[in-house]
């Protein structure tokens, strides 16, 4: 992934105004961005917590953390960056000897910079290796996963984590290619197999709003990075680190994540720990979607920690 030019700023992140309005970062606040990416949201947060606040940025991707560092350093040095899974929030705060924070942001999914990087394997629109690991120093790649799974296991993964209704058809097509001795090791290879397996002539194919490979890539990425398990752990822990009156904002990009967030917030409300601020998840406005089509599936939920 190429480093950005020093004169550039990170791409405007999804629902920036909404995130800032809910988090309400102020002077002296300690704010956690648990998936900091290139720092799009955090740059604005850092400006608002000056002169003596602290921004804590977490991300599994070491390469993108370097970008965040370059952007944030132009604003202030009141930040700490950690390469870690957002599920390890507690460990990060323990290292800093911080027990309570004034806001937590979790922006799930893959950043535009990761999607646009051919060598990461997240996008079916670009030729690249089937990797999909957020942290390329550990874990198995998507290519390895496809080799290990049986046809039935593969179909279950596509159905459970991608919600692909024709999951068996895609799994069968992949196994058919593998049995012929074809090594499926690039993004475009997998995308073409999924497209061919799911193609239906006539109205159905014309009405389909997303590329046939979208859910297949989503499912593999989730499993490769164990994303839902990490999200459950994060949601279980995050409330305990919020000071009274502070807020948590979670932005998800598919229904599996959103369901987990909704359930966790409801459980927090039932336990009198959280006040839910978004009765329904917020979605991007039409103008934002026109500028950034990737924002169309974003759902934002926010909650406030009650005073005990």
Instruction: Classify domain 16-113+227-305 at the CATH topology level.
Output: Rossmann fold (3.40.50)
Distance CA 106, CA 258 (A): 12
pLDDT, mean over the chain = 92
- Of the candidate ranges 9-13, 53-57, 171-175, the one whose mean pLDDT is the lowest: 9-13
Does the pTM surpass 0.85? The reply is: yes
Parallel/antiparallel/unpaired status of strands 299-305 and 242-252? antiparallel
Distance CA 100, CA 107 (A): 20
pLDDT, position 177: 96
Residue range 185-196: mean pLDDT, rounded = 95
Confirm or reject CATH 1.10.3720.10 for domain 135-224, answering yes or no: no
Residue range 40-46: mean pLDDT, rounded = 96
pLDDT, position 7: 45
Sign of CA dihedral 81, 82, 83, 84: negative
> Residues 56-106: pLDDT tens digits?
999 999 999 999 999 999 999 999 999 999 999 999 999 999 999 999 999
**Which band of pLDDT confidence, cut at 50, 70 and 90, is reported for residue 150?**
very high
For residue 6, is pLDDT > 80? no
How long, in residues, is the chain? Answer: 308
pLDDT, position 199: 75
Q: According to CATH, where is 1.10.150.170 located in the chain? A: 135-224
Q: According to CATH, where is 3.40.50.150 located in the chain? A: 16-113+227-305
For helices 151-162 and 214-224, what crossing angle results, to 10°? 100
Sign of CA dihedral 111, 122, 59, 271: positive
Contacts of 141 (CB under 8 A, 6+ apart): 121, 129, 130, 131, 132, 133, 224
pLDDT, position 111: 76
> Residues 222-251: pLDDT tens digits?
999 999 999 999 999 999 999 999 999 999
Distance CA 197, CA 173 (A): 6
**Which band of pLDDT confidence, cut at 50, 70 and 90, is reported for residue 200?**
low
Taking alpha carbons only, the member of 88, 107, 85, 117 closest to residue 41 is 107
Which structure tokens are listed for 144?
A: 């390895």
- Of the candidate ranges 122-136, 146-160, 171-185, the one whose mean pLDDT is the lowest: 122-136
Residue range 181-193: mean pLDDT, rounded = 95
């Amino acid at each position: 992934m190429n480093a950005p030019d020093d004169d550039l700023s990170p791409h405007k992140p999804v629902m920036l105004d909404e995130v800032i309005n809910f988090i309400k970062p102020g002077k002296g606040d300690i704010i956690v961005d648990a998936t900091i990416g290139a720092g799009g949201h955090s740059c604005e947060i850092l400006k608002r917590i000056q002169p003596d606040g602290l921004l804590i940025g977490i991300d599994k991707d070491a390469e993108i953390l370097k970008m965040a560092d370059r952007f944030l350093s132009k604003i202030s040095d009141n930040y700490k960056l950690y390469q870690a899974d957002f599920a390890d929030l507690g460990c990060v705060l323990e290292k800093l000897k911080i027990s309570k924070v004034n806001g937590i942001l979790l922006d799930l999914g893959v950043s535009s910079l990761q999607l646009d990087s051919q060598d990461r394997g997240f996008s079916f629109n670009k030729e690249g290796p089937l990797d999909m690991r957020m942290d390329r120093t550990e874990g198995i790649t998507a290519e390895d996963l496809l080799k290990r799974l049986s046809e039935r296991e593969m179909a279950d993964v596509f159905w459970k984590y991608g919600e692909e209704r024709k999951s068996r058809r895609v799994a069968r097509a992949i196994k058919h290619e593998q049995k012929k001795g074809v090594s499926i090791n690039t993004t475009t290879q997998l995308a073409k197999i999924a497209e061919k397996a799911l193609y239906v002539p006539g109205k159905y194919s014309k009405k389909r709003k997303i590329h046939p490979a979208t859910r297949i890539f989503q499912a593999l990425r989730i499993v490769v990075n164990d994303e839902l398990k990490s999200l459950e752990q994060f949601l279980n822990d995050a409330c305990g680190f919020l000071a009274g009156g502070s807020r948590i904002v979670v932005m998800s990009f598919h229904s599996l994540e959103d369901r987990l967030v909704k359930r966790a917030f409801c459980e927090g409300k039932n336990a009198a720990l959280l006040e839910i601020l978004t009765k329904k998840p917020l979605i991007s406005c039409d103008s934002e979607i026109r500028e950034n089509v990737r924002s169309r599936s974003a759902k934002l939920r926010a909650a406030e920690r009650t005073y005990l």
